[in-house]
Amino acid sequence: MNHSEFLLPKTPYRGEVKPENLVFNANLQEFSQKVSYICSLETNGKLSPEEAYLKIKYLWEELKQSKKQLGIGSNRTE
């Protein structure tokens, strides 16, 4: 196992395989990784709690927009 595999483990997708689900899953994993980094920076005093909150809030808004654009959870017909 190399350094990259240890820090960013890959797990196979187990949900319904549709392009929009795969893209959202990738976005969700990226969100999770960035939140983890921000939490670590805040815990170690590199970011203030307010800075960490604002960064995570921004990432959350990006994820929500991604969900909306991909139509995840909507009742659109195919």
- What one-character-per-residue DSSP string does 54-75 give? HHHHHHHHHHHHHHHHHTTT--
What is the rounded average pLDDT for all residues in the chain?
Answer: 89
- 75, pLDDT greater than 80: no
Domain chopping of the chain, boundaries: 19-68
- 50, pLDDT greater than 60: yes
- 7, pLDDT greater than 80: no
Q: Taking the CA atoms of 10, 14, 17 and 20 in sequence, report the sign of the dihedral they define.
A: negative
Maximum Cα interatomic distance, the chain, rounded to a whole number of Å: 48
- The gap from C-alpha 12 to its chain's centroid, in whole angstroms, comes to 16
